[in-house]
Amino acid sequence: MHQHLGAATMAHEPDWLREARSSLEAGLREAVADLEPFSHRAVAYYFGWQDEHGRSSPGPSGRRRLGSLTLLAACLNGGDWHQALPAALACELAFNAAVIHDDIIDHDHTRRGRPTVWTLFGEAAAILAGNALTAVAFDVLATARPAQAAETTGWLARTVVQLNAGQLLDVRFEDRTVVTLPDYLAMVDGKAGAFAECGCALGAVFAGADAETVAGLASFGNRLGLIWQLRNDYLGIWGDPALTGKEPRADLKSRKKTYPVLVALAHGGEERERFADLYRSSPPGLLSDDASHLAADLIEQCGGREATLRETRRLLDEALAPLEHLVPDTTAREALSALATAFALSDR
């Protein structure tokens, strides 16, 4: 195991991770196989196994980063990823249920270049498919490890509650003109932090880690989730479209209140006023290409770009610091560190 872990940046996928990911995919297929046929079609489409007509598709949609993180957490201190497969499945199922619901809530029509579930199958089917996936996640945890079901299902339940709180904060931001950075970080903590935390914790529990290691990895996972979100926020403005697969400055065009935007709005001075006017008062709908260019420049002049990179680095330090005494094995520790760094510096 350990000779592989050393190479576990997401950029260069090691053999064990490719194998683990393929087991994860097979496990997902099996977990949802008995769903009601119409729900199954919606889910198989969402996961990228089928097209909208139910015909076989080339491959999975999404990178299963959460599941991979869960499996990696299990590998530390001598564990084996196979042990944590049900934990990774449960996290992916519940997390993707939330994504399906999020697309309804945000009225998003496309995800990863394909129509969203609710636009193709209807809102009712999308709500119900999400509910079914979450329930299957609990069933997988309860069935795989009966003796630890209280701990694992309880952890997942509290994570789902947190996630819902984060999603609700996010929705309510849309209606507010003033969103503070602490509000934003509380929302990210619920949405991205809680699930990465749950993945790391359950991975460790399934690999038989002690309570201290579980708590330490949970906290590492939480920071990693925040890093993940801040990096996304960064790429939503300054990412290379060729690598992200998204439109240039997509987040600015849809006037999202992301971390760099909120930093700029919290700034003083003339650039801040120009940016605020541009973001708020231009006609409704998407910002034009030119306007989004200007907005990106103004945000940078207000320090939004630098602050986002700085906060990401700070979170990375915070994530890595406690690993030293938690993960005695230096190879394993380096793998985690490489993963976290890869998240923080990801270009897509």
Q: Which residues bind a copy of itself (CB under 8 A)?
A: 35-36, 38-39, 98, 101, 104-105, 122-125, 127-132, 134-136, 138-139, 141-143, 145-147, 149-151, 153-154, 156-158, 160-161, 164-165, 167-169, 171-172
With contact defined as beta carbons under 8 Å apart, do 115 and 52 qualify? Answer: yes
**Which of 195/343 has CB closer to a copy of itself?**
195
**Which of 141/302 has CB closer to a copy of itself?**
141
**Which of 146/285 has CB closer to a copy of itself?**
146
4, 10, 12, 13: CA torsion to nearest 10: 60
Nearest distance from C-beta of residue 149 to a copy of itself, angstroms? 4
Nearest distance from C-beta of residue 60 to a copy of itself, angstroms? 22
Nearest distance from C-beta of residue 167 to a copy of itself, angstroms? 6
Neighbouring CB atoms inside 10 A of 206's CB total 28
Count, in order, helices (H) and strands (E) of the chain.
19, 2
d(CA 138, CA 312): 33
Nearest distance from C-beta of residue 120 to a copy of itself, angstroms? 15
**Which of 141/264 has CB closer to a copy of itself?**
141
Nearest distance from C-beta of residue 139 to a copy of itself, angstroms? 4
With contact defined as beta carbons under 8 Å apart, do 87 and 203 qualify? Answer: yes
Parallel/antiparallel/unpaired status of strands 114-115 and 110-111: antiparallel
Token readout for 316 is 């990375």
d(CA 205, CA 294): 48
**Which of 17/204 has CB closer to a copy of itself?**
204
